[in-house]
Structure 1
Amino acid sequence: MDINIRRAVIHNVSDNNQEQLEDTIVDAMQKGEEKYLPGLGVLFEVIWQNADEQKKSMMLDTLENGLKQA
């Protein structure tokens, strides 16, 4: 059985508005279950692919600072 996680995640949220997308992200993080990590990774991949260089730099700064505080 070949499951394409990227395609499944994108299909499941492609019609969601911003509030629904935020709810999906927050819910996955609050549950803290490993099974949600691939989906969050797909969502981050979409964000990264659609960000310009300035936004990518800002995300990297945020990530670096967040990891230092973890």
Structure 2
Amino acid sequence: MELDLRQAIIQRVQGKDEAELTDVIESSIGAEEMALPGLGVLFEMIWKDSTAAARKKMVSVLHKHVNPSKEA
């Protein structure tokens, strides 16, 4: 049975409690670029289960990070 990357990442985190999921995320942030697809899959799961307001907030935060103010 072949697993695609998305399925493999989901299987890696299934069964973990919230503290373990936090550790997976925090240890992946700023790590090697190999971790980025995993974070993308996790973000996709969060996005699909988010309200329109939560999505708008995430996009706003992202926009601020990719377009930093020149006033700082």
What's the TM-score, normalizing by structure 2?
Answer: 0.83
Report how many residues are paired. Answer: 67
Aligned to 2:18: 18
Find the aligned partners of 2:66 and 2:19 in 1 and give their Cα distance. 26
User: Which structure would you say has the larger RCO, counting Cα contacts within 8 Å and 6 or more residues apart?
Assistant: 1
Find the aligned partners of 2:57 and 2:16 in 1 and give their Cα distance. 25
Residue deviations 1:33-61 (CA, integer Å, cap 9, x gap): 01111101000000001101011001001
Which structure shows the higher helix fraction? 1
Structure 1 residues without counterparts, runs of 5 or longer? none
Aligned to 2:29: 29
Structure 2 residues without counterparts, runs of 5 or longer? none
Aligned to 2:58: 59
Q: Cα RMSD (Å) of the superposition? A: 1.3
Structure 2 counterpart SS, 1:59: helix
Aligned partner letter, 2:8: A
